[in-house]
Chains A and B, each alone.
Chain A
């Protein structure tokens, strides 16, 4: 149980275009999902917290108009990188927290496999 999927697993796009990444919790409902970014040889950096039915909360230094987050249902959150530039090339990882009412490991946070973005 507690599987999180991401799509696509990798994407190459031209500078100036927009890219949408989907994150789904497959066997549980997640009122809160998280988006991280990871550059080579660095640790994961939290970008934003995605709340179902409300606006996302962005970490300091993350442009909310550039990284659009939509959490329209309890199993789906999307991250859209708008007007992508080469410096946006990175490994984007989503995560969802298992609700306390769910059996198994309540409170644990499960991660998707990541999406590798390359902007040319």
Chain B
């Protein structure tokens, strides 16, 4: 799987948009970009994933650059409950292939 690079930590004010970047310059054509988050002492939570088009769901938006070498996860209105470690993972969408976690970005949302 392609390696990803994320900032170690980020801060965001409550109510503002949180934009979390991820670099994946060695991504292959069949690899998807997945975003998960882990709130302290819980299992990771699926947020969103995409291949090349931008995606939006009830939790967030995923913006993937045209060359697919980087992406940004956007939480449009961050709340205190969004404080968590956010993981950007690239993986081919093949049965039996596990997600491999890096260190992620610790997002701290404050009032």
**Besides A46-B100, A107-B93, A109-B98, 19 other A-B contacts (C-beta < 8 A):** A2-B46, A32-B96, A34-B99, A43-B103, A44-B101, A45-B101, A46-B98, A49-B98, A93-B44, A95-B43, A95-B99, A97-B95, A97-B96, A100-B95, A105-B46, A108-B46, A108-B49, A109-B99, A111-B44
CB distance from B62 to the nearest CB of A (A): 13
CB distance from B89 to the nearest CB of A (A): 9
In chain A, residues 13-32, which have Cβ atoms closer than 8 Å to a Cβ of chain B? Answer: 31-32
Most buried by A among B36, B44, B49, B104: B44
Q: How far is the CA of A89 from the CA of B97 in the complex (A)?
A: 26
| Residue B102, interface by CB 8 Å | yes
18 CB contacts below 8 A, A to B, read A6-B43, A34-B99, A43-B87, A43-B101, A46-B99, A46-B100, A49-B96, A93-B44, A97-B96, A99-B95, A100-B93, A107-B93, A109-B34, A111-B36, A111-B44, A113-B42, A113-B43, A116-B41
Do A43 and B49 touch (CB < 8 A)? no
Interface residues on B, range: 20 to 34
What's the tally of chain A residues with a CB closer than 8 Å to chain B?
A: 29
Q: Chain A contacts of B99 at CB under 8 A? A: 34, 46, 95, 109
CB distance from A101 to the nearest CB of B (A): 11
In chain A, residues 81-120, which have Cβ atoms closer than 8 Å to a Cβ of chain B? Answer: 91, 93, 95, 97, 99-100, 105, 107-114, 116
Q: How many inter-chain contacts with C-beta < 8 Å in the A-B complex?
A: 62
- Given A43-B103, A93-B43, does the pair A105, B98 have CB atoms closer than 8 Å? no
Q: How far is the CA of A49 from the CA of B97 in the complex (A)?
A: 8
Mark A31-69 against chain B: 1 for CB-CB distance below 8 A, else 0: 110101000000111100101000000000000000000
- Given A43-B101, A43-B102, A46-B100, does the pair A114, B95 have CB atoms closer than 8 Å? no
Do A114 and B43 touch (CB < 8 A)? yes
10 closest cross-chain pairs (CB), A and B: A111-B43, A107-B93, A44-B101, A43-B101, A111-B44, A34-B98, A114-B43, A113-B43, A93-B43, A32-B96
Q: Which of A32, A36, A99, A105 contacts B49 (CB 8 A)?
A: A105
